[in-house]
Structure 1
């Protein structure tokens, strides 16, 4: 993703920060409209809903399980989003990409839909619900160049509104050295986790291992349900008396990441340590506040 400085404007049509939001980069022709599901009728009354559009239906659970996305395109948002509202239960918000100059065509939309699905799958941050995703549509070279610029803009706007669908969870740490890695271990080896503290939270890296069984004190609690959801969604899999992370997974806090591995309540700021044995708290919080 292009990391050059950008000016992004967010407009609130009804004045509420939790209502419909319209985001745009001031020098680009497209805008992204963030629509809470409850306010779908309000959006469908807006003139922007009458355009050809690329859209993303998203859910972002608070329980640590993976967010979901469905990508679509249409020239009839009222009908298509109405169908999704009545037939798809999972989504909480619709993010709709349209042109401020009404210049988005069906050919643009088809290519953008395909590009979005492929990039989202490669990033692996959201579970996509698009099935096969289709084949690459034929797109003339000049139009494809336009699409790629629109796609870049759309990705930046999605991330700004809290949905970095196209960005891997460890994107900003691929070149991190050993000092950026933190470990969560037990003496008997039943827990052996590795992770990275990022600006979004704490990422437990693939192949990290934890205990399969929960301690009795969290049986029937939200922590136990949270760990089971990680297994059910395929983030972790069971191997013998352990669970193994199948892929990198972002947690909102170091403590929820530690709970996932230990199967008990845990203070992740203390449990996660670097190679020198310094706690995450000492490295990331005390170093700043000291």
Structure 2
């Protein structure tokens, strides 16, 4: 059987390609967002960003001028906050002032549990290290969870 085509929907949330972008794929529960750091506050009230997920913080190192990425995970907290709250914590952290945009992966049905997000964080981190396109900012390699 041959490969089938896929339909990707890119929604320009602010009406321009430099703003926030929501990406969905037909017949898939996953959702991805590209959010400029300066537009983070515009995402308040988005239910899917209060869920669990994995995120990438992209930017440039002030010291070396290299492209850098931080890959992390966010679980739903007791206060009902998830991804957006975690990104706001990073925005307030002076040690992470290098990042200019975030890319977030979550689901439309809040189906990511702790094992899934640990696995994805581990897998994405290892892939980024192997690709050698970015300086990967990580204190330690994340746990692969029970899928490893």
In 2 relative to 1, CA 47–135 (structure 1 residues): closer, same or farther, beyond 3 Å? Answer: closer
What residue number does 1:79 align with? 85
Q: Which aligned pairs between 1:110-125 and structure 2 lie closer than 5 A? A: 110-125=118-133
1:221-264 CA distance string (max 9 Å, x none): xxxxxxxxxxxxxxxxxxxxxxxxxxxxxxxxxxxxxxxxxxxx
Residues 111-141 of structure 1 deviation map (CA, whole Å, 9 limit, x = unaligned): 10011101110111111001221342223xx
Q: How many residues align?
A: 136
Match of 1:100 among 108, 112, 118: 108
Distance 2:68 2:109 in 1: 30
Which is higher, the Rg of structure 1 or of structure 2? 1
1:11 deviates by 0.7
- Unaligned stretches of 5+ in structure 1? 145-290
- Pairing partner for 2:137 from 129, 135, 145: 129
Gaps of 5+ in 2: 76-81
Runs of 4+ in 1 over 3 A off after TM superposition: 3-6
- Map of 1:66 onto structure 2: 66
Once superposed, what is the RMSD of the aligned Cα atoms? 2.3
Contact 1:21 1:35 in 2 (8 A): yes
Match of 1:50 in 2: 50
Secondary structure (helix, strand or coil) at the match of 2:128 reads helix
What TM-score comes out, normalization by structure 2 length? 0.81
1:6/1:60 Cα in 2 relative to 1: closer, same or farther (>3 Å)? farther
Measured against aligned partners, the alpha-carbon deviations of 1:203-226 in whole angstroms (never above 9, x if no partner) come to: xxxxxxxxxxxxxxxxxxxxxxxx
CA 1:91/1:4 → structure 2, altered by over 3 Å: closer, same or farther?
A: farther
Query: Please, what TM-score do these two structures have when normalized by structure 1?
Result: 0.43
Residue 39 (structure 2) aligns with: 39
1:170-229 CA-partner distances (Å, limit 9, x unpaired) = xxxxxxxxxxxxxxxxxxxxxxxxxxxxxxxxxxxxxxxxxxxxxxxxxxxxxxxxxxxx
- Partner of 1:31: helix, strand, or coil? strand
1:40-93 per-residue CA deviation (whole Å, 9 max, x = no partner) reads 0111332221111111000158xxx43110011112224321210011111000
- Higher helix proportion (structure 1 or 2): 1
Structure with greater strand share of residues: 2
